[in-house]
Amino acid sequence: NAGVTQTPKFRILKIGQSMTLQCTQDMNHNYMYWYRQDPGMGLKLIYYSVGAGITDKGEVPNGYNVSRSTTEDFPLRLELAAPSQTSVYFCASSYSIRTSGIAYEQYFGPGTRLTVT
């Protein structure tokens, strides 16, 4: 298994540009997440999805959009990039059994380092 893969690894955007960060997992996990991590800080949840066709906002969703058309893919869209969106973005996935109230650990991708200038 490749696990969680993210592309691109690095990207520089100009203010006002848009881009999509790609995330794919091959573990058949139902839950997927997008986090951002600023230097010296912890992880902040942007959006998450509990299954194909279902997405929900996390702690810091403004300026971002997501979609989950398949179990494997969970792209993150940045519209009108701003310097405040300069960060490292991590995608993660996990397997959880909501009906039984059982959660398991998250598997993280290698991250995308984004700079907006």
Partner 1 sequence: GESVGLHLPTLSVQEGDNSIINCAYSNSASDYFIWYKQESGKGPQFIIDIRSNMDKRQGQRVTVLLNKTVKHLSLQIAATQPGDSAVYFCAENLNTGGFKTIFGAGTRLFVKA
Nearer to partner 1, 62 or 105 (CB): 105
Q: Which two tokens stand for residue 22?
A: 């790609």
Which burial class, exposed, middle or buried, applies to 47 when counting CB atoms under 10 A from its CB (0-12, 13-18, 19+)? buried
Query: Which listed residue (8, 56, 69, 82) binds partner 1 by CB under 8 A?
Result: 56
Distance (Å, whole) CA 26 – CA 31: 12
Least Cβ distance, residue 16 to partner 1 (angstroms): 25
* Residues at the interface with partner 1 (CB under 8 A): 4, 31, 33, 37, 39-43, 45, 50, 56, 88, 90, 92, 96, 98, 101, 103-111, 113
